[in-house]
Structure 1
């Protein structure tokens, strides 16, 4: 896009200021029918709208969770917290690095959150939620400094933020409104993980307040790894200065945390595709064992992004580092309410995942990777150097896995974001016209280095998995210290470096007219962006060479694996250099029938710009950096919704019907008919329709919070696989639901957090089923004296084997599939001191 065009767009937005208005109207501005009883407590909502509003006065579908509710959920995993919000579907193993999150049946083709934007204090954590190996959830944590989580589904999310057509989830920090602090000490009672949380806030003067909070944790975690797989924490601070009619707030955050990657692991399956029976393998339970690393599988040789010998420590797991600084200001000037949010974040880290590509009995594995007469021996651990008997049932299962070792160095996901907006209310006839206009700008780095390889290891419980070497019949090692190849399947594919920058600019505005109980509004946004940078990788094509002989262990001998090490063709970069632009709009109407009831309807069109997944494909010409298919620059999303909201003392009930459609060009990791890992290219359109229900019922000390989402989604077209047309997208259940019954007094609170899902298909071919599950997590909080609270949380108390994704399209002949599971029973105790 030329500078002239950008200037014209900005000028047009500023010129049109009087023509735009906020989506909603203040509760105090409306005229309601008189209610016989005192109104129920209003719920102010500020995320993804022009101005904070009571939910019954907004033409949106939205939900909130406060910090007290999150304490009762039983886990602090971001994805599992989001699973408690209707409409949101999340796949996780219980940690934050490997997650997949979507909303209202929009496709979940791969990891991350493509159509749902995750924010912290009103600005996106990352501009794009689905960058490979750098999911937004990896750079966000919950602790006692969190005040509230707000989620908007569809609606004005398309026009009040970029790259968020499906919705927005905003994690809002405490800002010192409440004086005092708290310290909470937690420990696993059936696992080794200790954690300390703290928060303190209050006033420094009449016009200045502050809040500081954070956590630190360390330990093996809920699954046995044999080392401290969790280690790190964060500190967050903000200070607010009130100035006349407004305020200025300074935010700061530092996060440095390591987590294990609870990815896909081998699981036994029998029965039929339509009625499968999944069970742990003998000697290895995916609910409490992990294979990403172990006490005997740590550092291995590798190459860095300059093709120099280096060392990869797999025990680093998924490491997230964030240092951010932000300012928020809001003032009333000459009848206008002006606000600005700006933040700069330095983000880096690493991603380590072990994905089994083939799991075989000892004799079959030796034959497959060493040829006739080959044998296996331990490369690490207490049995290092010992040959494994072909008849040995090692670990009770007799299995050895060939794993894809996925390592990504996150050099920089740095971003700068600024959101400026202004609004004003005008008296017009018997009603009020509210106008809002703003301008959004961001810069997002995507600097990643992929280093993939293959290794062999046994399936041992208790964090005792060890590397296995393959020895050919003539005594020649076919592996080195358990490493089969220093490149994926011995080649150079997916050995890459991305060094990209994305600039996003968006003028936006809205107009709303409210008269009596009726409010009608519309909003508009135009996103335009610039993508630039360089790429390195032999799979860009041409005459690029991606293999070299390197003595990685520096022993003076080039071993078999060292003879073909994947390297980057540093002298032959590819390029990224293209522009894009698209418009988003949303129109809605809200009618307050009476004090406790309102109706709303809305239609929206938004989009999500494409990020790193476009590259290393025919979509981008690596020589020029230009798109060969302009339609791949962004994925449009159309949505319609309508519903009823009812609220009175002791009862809140929201019911919303929705429809959504989108197009998606993506890559997803799947499996072929044999169960072998396969990378699948998709170019599809999807649609989904359904109903969301959310309710809160209170009577005395008893309360029940419930939510449910019924969805029917389908693949409408597919340019690469026509046989998938009409099928249900993988992992999409018909029904997901949440419930939290509890009994609460001044002395104690007791209840349970319940999450459930019906069955779904493992892959888009709609053959193999993933079973339904219900996770029950009871909690007990006791307050024996003032300022002291004792808590007990039992996550998944019935130890359900809950599969969130299965990597096979059908039951393979081996009877073994890869699956990602939720954690098993995990009991945590804590004590909180308030002061």
Structure 2
């Protein structure tokens, strides 16, 4: 990618700038950390100017944007260390997560959660995107990002100039900003679950080195079963980050590196018993299980056979869970030269990993499923576990609930999500009349790989507790095995196509985006505008039998290598390696934003803004009717990208311990995508659609402190609608699935002397499980209290709880109506977990 390398070539020139300057770089005095008295609470540093998604960092009351920040004092109090969990405590941000990093859905204001990931939000680390696209199949951004003690703050900008200061971010930007060692000091913290098995060690340390140099290092390591019973260490791994900064007379240079290798279990859908009506349902755990603590994961369901991306027999291990690996190096610099501030950021990341999930294809009473798949008189036996081979005398009472499911084992090998990203920017402030004009010109370039392989297999499973799940074998009345070690098929076995969704992508996305902004401030008034031109080139190959033509996607293979062919081994999905589909197209779109801000008085300002931002379609449009794999191009060139229009107006107030922001908004977007939906029986189905959405609402953010008391509040009210649907007009006018009208967070706190006590409260009103607006998905309120005590200097003891009232908080229901069986598949937040921590600061 020539223009990327040309842009990146600016970095050596910027780093050499001190040598070309007339004055030698001075050595600033080393900063020294002041130790706090024994009873003092952690010190909150002075607020930094907001710098994400804007031309220059400035006071929020002087900016026509809606933005928020969580700093290092706030972060330990939100009740979770997961990225999506943290993000969900930012006003205006809607996050669906089961408490792990990865497999999350994040959106802003009322924009739809049509699929997993963060389609309309870009998640950054130190000002550059972790991934160019936030909704890559089986590779959402939070899978490759972690929060630890090296995190300084999290900044979010909703709407506004986010669409012009970053690519693929029309809804907003979330930036995780690292500490950089301005003051000498660090800490070590050990955290352990009191009612669950998970131990974690965090550390960070930074200090000046003299002659203008400073550094910071930090990271974590964790290991344990986790908050759900699975019978093995589902969490295992950690992260290490380091940066080195040289402060100059007129700027700085910084080098940094990161290594992440972290594995987590995937808490997917699990059955709950639904009662009541579709409009007013109630949910409870299935007999013999705990819906907040059980999964289908266990040592006895972990290993299964299949084929790799070359169609060769292989073995998969579900204990690898959601596994992200990142090796990245980068450099950034800023220098003031002849009135211009020139900044350059460059990062190269090697990104890979693995994704595993278990999706219920069919769930029903065991006797019914046995008859449907093996006929009358069929027999059920244990395929794995301590009772392997034993016939089950009473399937109707199996595990205390008599239920069986055909589960879809989904495995994605993320061969390469490597990227190189570069952002070069130059700004200058001009005296124009009685005001100041700030101009910015920038060039962004990136190269993003998407090389991944999907495989699926069907297994016969039940539902039990305590991490003791097993697979089952099914035999006909005439003693013909229907299963092979509990496996029904080595593919996605549907009535129409075994090989459906068995796919490989090997695609590269190149992005080049020049951008510019101008902001004129005169007295209390500031008027600004920005524009961005995104050009993309996409090339590569696709492999999948569902592409059409003469491709063949099914074979008979001895996958377990025992020399004989079982019935499931006649149903093996393979890739047509000699007949790849083609990807070869480009796209261009323009994003712009205009805004005005008026500082009525020192404590109050008002603003208004209109923006239109674009977002490239990414790999989700491939293998759909919207993409032609022969020509390598979208069927309609307009589906190569989508656009979001937003209007917002707000008021900001800040004075004497009170901060209050209120913003009214309107947003509209068109989208071509696929999503996993469900029918009235709960059976999953993949839906391809082209729609228009809109949302109107208001978001509120406030913080008040009086002596030792403080409270922080964030709330978003949004009325969202499906305005049009080219495939299913019956959905027009419906509310998009998983779109509550109100979601909020509240954090009251009392802090005095040697202790701090408080709670983070997260709540949401009801929404709909699916876009047909039949089954209501109940709202919930989660309370996460915390207590921190500082008995002696530099030592802090903590006690925190998540979901202290053990609320059944549902974030996803895999059905569009309560089925006749009364059993639905649902994803819930974890039940009550209590953790203790010991932190030593030095």
TM-score by length of 1: 0.95
Are 1:140 and 2:122 an aligned pair? no
Secondary structure of the residue aligned to 1:489 is coil
Partner of 1:779: 786
Partner of 1:108: 113
Q: 2:491 aligns with which of 487, 491, 498?
A: 487
Partner of 2:136: 131
Alpha-carbon shift at residue 564 of structure 1 (Å)? 1.9
- Checking the alignment, whether the CA contact within 8 Å between 1:42 and 1:55 is kept in structure 2 is no
Q: 1:423 aligns with which of 419, 422, 427?
A: 427
Cα RMSD of the aligned pairs, angstroms, is 1.5
- Checking the alignment, whether the CA contact within 8 Å between 1:362 and 1:390 is kept in structure 2 is no
Secondary structure of the residue aligned to 1:731 is coil
Alpha-carbon shift at residue 389 of structure 1 (Å)? 2.3
- Checking the alignment, whether the CA contact within 8 Å between 1:274 and 1:769 is kept in structure 2 is yes
Partner of 1:358: 362
- Checking the alignment, whether the CA contact within 8 Å between 2:380 and 2:395 is kept in structure 1 is no
Partner of 2:766: 759
Alpha-carbon shift at residue 74 of structure 1 (Å)? 1.6
**Where do residues 410-809 of structure 1 align in structure 2 (5 Å cutoff)?**
410-489=414-493, 491-809=498-816
Alpha-carbon shift at residue 614 of structure 1 (Å)? 0.9
Partner of 1:202: 207
Using the alignment, how far apart are the partners of 2:766 and 2:81 within structure 1?
Answer: 25
Using the alignment, how far apart are the partners of 2:439 and 2:685 within structure 1?
Answer: 51
Map Cα deviations across residues 410-453 of structure 1 (whole Å, 9 max, x no partner): 00000000000000011111111111000000000000100011
Are 1:183 and 2:182 an aligned pair? no
Runs of 4+ in 1 over 4 A off after TM superposition: 40-43
Using the alignment, how far apart are the partners of 2:94 and 2:519 within structure 1?
Answer: 32
- Checking the alignment, whether the CA contact within 8 Å between 1:97 and 1:351 is kept in structure 2 is no
Count of aligned residue pairs for this structure pair: 801
Map Cα deviations across residues 729-749 of structure 1 (whole Å, 9 max, x no partner): 001001001000000012000
- Checking the alignment, whether the CA contact within 8 Å between 2:365 and 2:396 is kept in structure 1 is no
Q: 2:224 aligns with which of 208, 219, 231?
A: 219
Partner of 1:93: 98
Are 1:251 and 2:256 an aligned pair? yes
Using the alignment, how far apart are the partners of 2:379 and 2:618 within structure 1?
Answer: 45
Q: 2:268 aligns with which of 228, 239, 263?
A: 263
Map Cα deviations across residues 551-595 of structure 1 (whole Å, 9 max, x no partner): 111111011010121000000000100000000000000000000
- Checking the alignment, whether the CA contact within 8 Å between 2:362 and 2:406 is kept in structure 1 is yes
Are 1:163 and 2:168 an aligned pair? yes
- Checking the alignment, whether the CA contact within 8 Å between 2:367 and 2:396 is kept in structure 1 is no
Secondary structure of the residue aligned to 1:828 is strand
Alpha-carbon shift at residue 181 of structure 1 (Å)? 1.0
Partner of 2:62: 57
- Checking the alignment, whether the CA contact within 8 Å between 1:145 and 1:214 is kept in structure 2 is yes
Using the alignment, how far apart are the partners of 1:78 and 1:822 within structure 2?
Answer: 14
- Checking the alignment, whether the CA contact within 8 Å between 1:42 and 1:54 is kept in structure 2 is no
- Checking the alignment, whether the CA contact within 8 Å between 2:678 and 2:685 is kept in structure 1 is yes
Are 1:341 and 2:345 an aligned pair? yes
Q: 1:276 aligns with which of 269, 278, 281?
A: 281
Are 1:319 and 2:323 an aligned pair? yes
Bigger drift between 196-205 and 623-632 goes to: 623-632
Are 1:118 and 2:129 an aligned pair? no
Alpha-carbon shift at residue 2 of structure 1 (Å)? 13
- Checking the alignment, whether the CA contact within 8 Å between 1:423 and 1:434 is kept in structure 2 is yes
Alpha-carbon shift at residue 240 of structure 1 (Å)? 0.2
Alpha-carbon shift at residue 394 of structure 1 (Å)? 2.2
Secondary structure of the residue aligned to 1:387 is coil
Using the alignment, how far apart are the partners of 1:653 and 1:85 within structure 2?
Answer: 14
- Checking the alignment, whether the CA contact within 8 Å between 1:216 and 1:232 is kept in structure 2 is yes
Using the alignment, how far apart are the partners of 1:746 and 1:401 within structure 2?
Answer: 55
- Checking the alignment, whether the CA contact within 8 Å between 2:426 and 2:441 is kept in structure 1 is yes
Partner of 1:378: 382
Using the alignment, how far apart are the partners of 2:410 and 2:503 within structure 1?
Answer: 12
Q: Which consecutive unaligned segments of at least 5 residues does structure 1 have?
A: 8-39
Map Cα deviations across residues 515-550 of structure 1 (whole Å, 9 max, x no partner): 100000100000000000001010011010011111
- Checking the alignment, whether the CA contact within 8 Å between 2:661 and 2:702 is kept in structure 1 is yes
Map Cα deviations across residues 291-337 of structure 1 (whole Å, 9 max, x no partner): 2x202111111111000110000111011000000101000011100
Alpha-carbon shift at residue 170 of structure 1 (Å)? 0.2
Q: Cα gap change, 1:2/1:833 in structure 2, threshold over 3 Å: closer, same or farther? A: closer
